[in-house]
Amino acid sequence: MTLIISWIGVDDKKEGKEISSIYIASDSRYTWGNAGKFDFGIKVFGSSKYPEIFGFCGDVLFPSTILGQLIPQIDNGLLLNDHDNCDTKNEIISGYIKTSLDTYPKGFLAGTFTILHGTRNGKVFKLFKTSFSPETGIKNEEIELPKVSKKVYSGGSGKTEFDKNWEEWEKEKHNDFRTSRGVYHCLYQTLKSIKDPQTGGLPQIVGLYRNKNSRLFGIVENDKKYIYGKESSENINSTTIEWRNENFERMNPETLKIIEGAQRQPS
């Protein structure tokens, strides 16, 4: 089933508090019941041409197939236009998901699934959730985003353990109270101790800032680099994406040290 979370970062501006970033993160484990596991499964997606990010939990085959179809069409300008607002973009995307599900053999769905869609138009950020269950069918809804940095969604079979841990981060005395990094800290520590056998591996993250399009984040752990849970042993061009450590500090992928001048975060 997995663990998927989303959170926002909020800045203080002269005009008041404004959302400055939105993230979708997940673990990296695919499972086939008790038959086996694969800790390099892709669960978060992003468009390189539009400010659209996605993630899913639950059934693996349908969401991963649909998102694999959506991203190339978005990137090639087939589905969205630059002038579309957030609601219009989600209406198009959720409609695509619904019509695809209409012809999908329901007997091959592994129960339920949820697909998150984060989007931005100008300075406006929005988050939507498309969910399916055999009992209620498919439903699309907007998730309200507050004007404070915090978790805005958690789901999947790892949700119970994450939410229990999250109670500590929600205490005002916590060093990471109401911070964007706090949600990632909780995710990282939850994955290190999680008991749910369907959730595991390293975190994977996509995000949106106020400018440009989706951003993929690499993970640095124990002087090694990971993308989608897999160690990047190949000779990759590491400088094209952002890298973060367990404290969500920005890392130099060539030296594997914290970037000079980057803000250090309490652990």
- The distance of Cα 181 from the centroid of its chain, to the nearest Å, equals 14
Which residue reads 């353990």 in tokens? Answer: 161
State residue 75's pLDDT score: 97
**Residue 140 above 90 pLDDT?**
yes
Alpha helices by DSSP H, the chain: 61-75, 86-102, 159-169, 180-193
Q: Over the Cα atoms of the chain, what is R_g?
A: 18
**Structure tokens belonging to residue 218:** 């690499």
Please give the DSSP secondary-structure letter assigned to residue 107. G
Backbone torsions φ then ψ of 193, nearest 5 degrees = -125, 5
* pLDDT tens-place string over residues 143-160: 999 999 999 999 999 999
Please report which confidence band the pLDDT of residue 263 belongs to, taking 50, 70 and 90 as the band edges: low
Beta-carbon count within 10 A of 129 CB: 18
Q: For residues 245, 248, 254 and 257, what is the CA-based torsion angle, rounded to 10 degrees? A: -70
Average pLDDT, stretch 59-79? Answer: 96
160-190 tens-digit pLDDT:
999 999 999 888 888 888 888 899 999 999 9
DSSP class per residue in 40-59 = T---EEE-SSSSEEEEEEE-
% residues pLDDT > 90 (the chain) = 80
Rounded CA-CA distance 187/181 in Å is: 10
Nearest to 152 by CA among 5, 21, 4, 27: 5
CA 215 – CA 12 distance, rounded (Å): 23
Please report the domains of the chain, with CATH numbers, ordered by start residue: 3-258 (3.60.20.10)
